[in-house]
Structure 1
Amino acid sequence: MTLDRTPGAASARSVSGNGEDGNVRNSADGPFERFLRTIGWLAGAVVLLVLATLDVAVNAVQPIVVLLAIAVAVVMPRLRAATLGTGVLVLGAFLVLVALTVPSVDYGIVPFGFTVAVVGVVLIGLAAWRAEPVRAGFAVPLLLAGLVLQPTRLGNAKAAVVLALVIALGGVITSAAGLYLRMYQTNRHRQLIAAQQAQRTGIASDLHDYVAHHVTGMVVLAQAAQTVAASKPQAVLPALERIEAAGDEAMTAIRRMVTLLREPDAHARLSPPGTIADIAALAGHFTSDSGLQVRLSIEGEADTVPIDVQSAVHRVVMESLTNVRKHAGEARTLDILVRCHGRPAAVTVEVSNDGRGRGGGRSPDGGYGLKGLHERTAALGGSFTAGPRVPEGWTVQAHIPTRGAR
């Protein structure tokens, strides 16, 4: 193998995984999230304490009612979606029943205290956000109606109208906020599902490419071992060892990928994606396995290329080498050229051979391998071509921009 790097080319280096491969982590909240949650609970406790003190000070309501309101405020946010909806529904029905059946009494400032009013309005927003949708559809308007009807039991009609309007406005605002949070979370969940599905589809494509690559190499080595078995029996053992190693690598890749396909939220990690620096080792293995002369040239600063583009370039080379094994048995030389343009703004990879067979395999519209490369480069905003070259041979070429890639 001939390795030709221009002066500006980056040196090869090993790539280690950083654990950030696009998988969604279900880890515990970090210190900052826990700090915000603690601040929120403290702020809520202070507000409840102030409201309770105000209710008791002005004799607006009995202390037992204040304590019940505080208990509801503490318990309700911890309930599951279905239980929360049922609880709010029962509370709303109770308030409506009280407003319609209990006779009017001179309660002073408000009929049931500031604490109950504020807790009820907050529960409306909480139910609109987190309660089970069907229950929330009944619970939110029922609780809002129960709160708005309470001021009608006041002796002062003017004060009753003002309080009812204030409570109604607060309930509408909190319910709108809850609905916004519900839609936001639903949208995030849909995006998460779509990302996981796209990742699973990519893993399935990778599974095909890895297996095709390793199995093709095993077949070539087995055929070579059979050819030289009679004349050079000493060459059979190294070939068998390489077949065993390729089989182990293929099985390892299959196990990891199938694990991710079965458990999209699992913490299993694939090996680090192939990079431009890894192409040298890929070409070296191909040379030792096939005996072809491989000329590799990498131009430009490969280290600055985003990892998605590097992985796609590596995949183009790997699939091209697999197709050469399958369809270009008479090839003598193989050229791999990787150009990183404009610091780089784009990367071009070209793999060509001088074989008489269809060294590129099927067309992008007809075969799984090249079709997968066509889809991968198109997803990154690039272009992909594969076809015969003059006077003989086959060329695979991909041009991938780096803008917007990760």
Structure 2
Amino acid sequence: MRSRIRPWLHAAVWPTAAALLFGLGLFDHSLGAFGRLVGAFDRLDAHTTGALMLGSTLLAVGALLASPRLGARGLPWAAGAAAGVSLGTTVAIHVIARLPVGAQGITPVRDPYALTEPAALLGLLTLTVWRGAPLWAALSTPACFAAVILRPLAVGVGETTLVVAFFFTLAATAALGIGLTVRLVIADRRRREASVRMEQRTEFARDLHDFVAHHVTGIVIQAQGARSVAARRPELVPPALERIEHAGAEALKSMRSMVGMLRDVDESRTDVPLAPLAGMAEVRALVEEFATVGGSRARLRADGDFADLPVEVATTVHRVVMEALTNVRKHSRDYTEVEVHLTRSAGGITVRISDDGRPRQAVGQPLGGGFGLKGLAERVAVIGGRVRTGPAPAGGWRVEATLPVDHRVRSAA
């Protein structure tokens, strides 16, 4: 229902504005603001100033009604032109009003203002501050402001003209404030949308690394193992190829999932899940798969209750274990055992992954480093945790992450 109403409202704005300006024009004409157009320039008097005011009014109204078709630079130019003509008209009225009135039939200039032209200039002022290019808007805005305020003072300074100028000043200030407020709100919304899109891209980059690199690393390790045993034990090659095929299929599945999320995500929403959710079952599957692929022993120890973990914490635990096991495959050699130890305490969860191997030497084409640990540290920091890496006391390497479980600690991140 909302999507149907908005186009109708948007389409009705400018016809409504045109109707209101036309009504104001009829009101000004009924008050004699534009004088008699026939013979207005036969002599310089109130009828001449009325004709000048009518021309200035038509220009301001035309610029306002044409504003939807003007760009960020065209709109300030149109507003500046309308304001310049209005200021020129004010100067002409001031000069004509000071001419001596001696001849018969000359009508003196009394009230040199109407409502239609100020209304159009106020609309141009609001739109220019809202949509105009900053430099050109800064130049045309003072001209519009002055054109609205100075017109009542064209003939002279008196009690009535001061009161009218005061109300016009309030109206111009309100128009300036409205335009500036809308501009700042839109700029802030765009900034937040850009920030959300950047966060989404960063999150997608982490997930692509976590899921795809994990499976690809397994494929590389298995291919290296199959090549090394092909000559000595060829019967082990077909099972290794099956495992490579399975890991490749999992990598493609993960990549399709991530690409699908990239295509389907609605950037206007900030509550879109940016990554596949995972829990303890997926953590156990990771450890079991690692033992199957690597040929070494992998153990999972879980001390405490992990049934009621917040979604973001459970998913982060899964990512920590995935990245640590991927790094063991990439950078460790001669390892026989990998231990994944999860501890739940009152303050949070400690995830510790350690192996008993040695650093891998660069032979042939290295598996290389990347953004895994950096992305992991960023992911953990989002929910208020921290990551520490370094040599384990008993040898090998250890990755340890501490994650808070308190729902009040950035649970909506």
Within the alignment, does 1:320 sit opposite 2:324 as a pair? yes
2:184 and 2:357 mapped to 1: Cα distance?
59
Aligned residue number for residue 147 of structure 1: 148
In structure 2, the CA distance between the partners of 1:112 and 1:340, relative to structure 1 (3 Å rule), is farther
| Aligned AA (1:305) | P
Output the TM-score relative to the length of structure 1: 0.72
In structure 2, the CA distance between the partners of 1:38 and 1:211, relative to structure 1 (3 Å rule), is same
| Aligned AA (2:316) | A
Cα deviations by residue, 1:259-314 (Å, 9 ceiling, x for unpaired): 999xx9999x998435224323322321221133333355535565143x444322
User: SS where residue 398 of structure 1 aligns?
Assistant: strand
2:309 and 2:66 mapped to 1: Cα distance?
53
1:398 and 1:341 mapped to 2: Cα distance?
13
Aligned residue number for residue 176 of structure 1: 177
Contact 1:128–1:179 (8 Å) recurs in 2 = yes
Identity value in percent: 34
Mark the runs of 5 or more structure 2 residues left unpaired by the alignment.
38-53, 98-106, 361-368
1:101 and 1:188 mapped to 2: Cα distance?
45
Contact 1:129–1:182 (8 Å) recurs in 2 = yes
User: SS where residue 149 of structure 1 aligns?
Assistant: helix
1:30 and 1:339 mapped to 2: Cα distance?
50
Aligned residue number for residue 40 of structure 2: none
Within the alignment, does 1:287 sit opposite 2:291 as a pair? yes
Query: What pairs up with 1:291-302 in 2 under 5 angstroms?
Result: 291-297=295-301, 299-302=304-307
Query: What pairs up with 1:315-354 in 2 under 5 angstroms?
Result: 315-339=319-343, 346-353=348-355
Within the alignment, does 1:405 sit opposite 2:378 as a pair? no
Cα deviations by residue, 1:111-152 (Å, 9 ceiling, x for unpaired): 343232222123212211211111111111111222222223
| Aligned AA (1:147) | V
Mark the runs of 5 or more structure 1 residues left unpaired by the alignment.
1-28, 360-365
In structure 2, the CA distance between the partners of 1:167 and 1:250, relative to structure 1 (3 Å rule), is same
2:206 and 2:114 mapped to 1: Cα distance?
63
1:284 and 1:106 mapped to 2: Cα distance?
99
2:9 and 2:292 mapped to 1: Cα distance?
59
1:42 Cα deviation (Å)? 8.6
Contact 2:72–2:133 (8 Å) recurs in 1 = yes
In structure 2, the CA distance between the partners of 1:35 and 1:209, relative to structure 1 (3 Å rule), is same
1:405 Cα deviation (Å)? 3.2
In structure 2, the CA distance between the partners of 1:72 and 1:341, relative to structure 1 (3 Å rule), is farther
2:145 and 2:182 mapped to 1: Cα distance?
19
Aligned residue number for residue 125 of structure 1: 126
1:318 Cα deviation (Å)? 0.9
Output the TM-score relative to the length of structure 2: 0.71
1:253 Cα deviation (Å)? 6.3
1:172 Cα deviation (Å)? 2.1
User: SS where residue 81 of structure 1 aligns?
Assistant: coil
Aligned residue number for residue 395 of structure 1: 398
Query: What pairs up with 1:245-324 in 2 under 5 angstroms?
Result: 245-247=246-248, 250=251, 272-277=275-280, 278-297=282-301, 299-302=304-307, 304-307=309-312, 309-324=313-328
1:381 Cα deviation (Å)? 2.1
In structure 2, the CA distance between the partners of 1:274 and 1:336, relative to structure 1 (3 Å rule), is farther
Contact 2:380–2:386 (8 Å) recurs in 1 = yes
1:55 and 1:346 mapped to 2: Cα distance?
74
2:274 and 2:197 mapped to 1: Cα distance?
18
1:73 and 1:381 mapped to 2: Cα distance?
52
2:219 and 2:87 mapped to 1: Cα distance?
77
Aligned residue number for residue 230 of structure 2: 229
User: SS where residue 294 of structure 1 aligns?
Assistant: strand
Within the alignment, does 1:80 sit opposite 2:71 as a pair? yes
Aligned residue number for residue 90 of structure 1: 81
1:230 Cα deviation (Å)? 4.3
Aligned residue number for residue 380 of structure 2: 377
Contact 1:82–1:135 (8 Å) recurs in 2 = yes
Cα RMSD after superposing both structures: 4.2
Which piece of structure 1 moves more, 66-75 or 230-239? 66-75
| Aligned AA (2:91) | L
Aligned residue number for residue 14 of structure 1: none
1:82 Cα deviation (Å)? 1.2
1:124 and 1:271 mapped to 2: Cα distance?
42
In structure 2, the CA distance between the partners of 1:255 and 1:128, relative to structure 1 (3 Å rule), is same
Contact 1:106–1:155 (8 Å) recurs in 2 = no
Which piece of structure 1 moves more, 206-215 or 169-178? 206-215
Within the alignment, does 1:159 sit opposite 2:160 as a pair? yes
